[in-house]
Amino acid sequence: MRTRLFLITAPVADPNAVIEPLAAALGAADIASVLLRLAEADERTLINRIRAIAPTAQAAGAALLIDGRPDLIARSGADGVHVASSKVKDARALVPADRIVGACGGDTRHDAMVAGEAGADYVMFGTPDGSGPLLDVILERTAWWSQIFEPPCVAVAGDLQEIGVLAAAGADFVALGDALWNGPDGAAAAIRLAASMLRDRVP
């Protein structure tokens, strides 16, 4: 299975500021999923933000996942949710059966296995906000998971140069957050470069 790209947004307060760069990124290469992080607001505002952004992602064939709010999925039109490893069972109780429940791999191998055993559709090594762990840990966990477990894994790249090694370690998806949106040439250029790194890597 080839490695695909997975996008992570910064916390979104104004969807109108996100739609254009997101559409450009999605149009630049094959993107599997977009993980939407939301700035704090009341429930109705959050749902409206998701509804404003969802068509852009879904029209490009990408699943729109919401960070940490399983209670919003059924009413917002999102394709799934991303939660902590310990919250997968709780999320399953709130999310429609045909939607995605993905999970962070947590701080330990045990945390990742808890998520997998609870039925996570994927496990992510690294964090949506890019706060850690270090690349060496993400590589080790990705290689371990891909060799043993069936659910796919997402490995978070701290910068574009990490894409190739994470794919080579066995990541089914490589996630890009700040490295994508903060690039000097814009998100679309960063995505094209990321996609070329996946195509050019030696198996």
pTM across the whole model: 0.95
Domains in the chain and their CATH numbers?
4-200 (3.20.20.70)
Peptide bond into 11 cis (omega under 30): no
pLDDT (tens digit per residue) in 109-126: 999 999 999 999 999 999
At 202 the pLDDT is 46
pLDDT tier at 132, thresholds 50, 70, 90:
confident
pLDDT (tens digit per residue) in 33-83: 999 999 999 999 999 999 999 999 999 999 999 999 999 999 999 999 999
Number of H helices, E strands in the chain: 9, 8
Q: Which two tokens stand for residue 162?
A: 């990490």
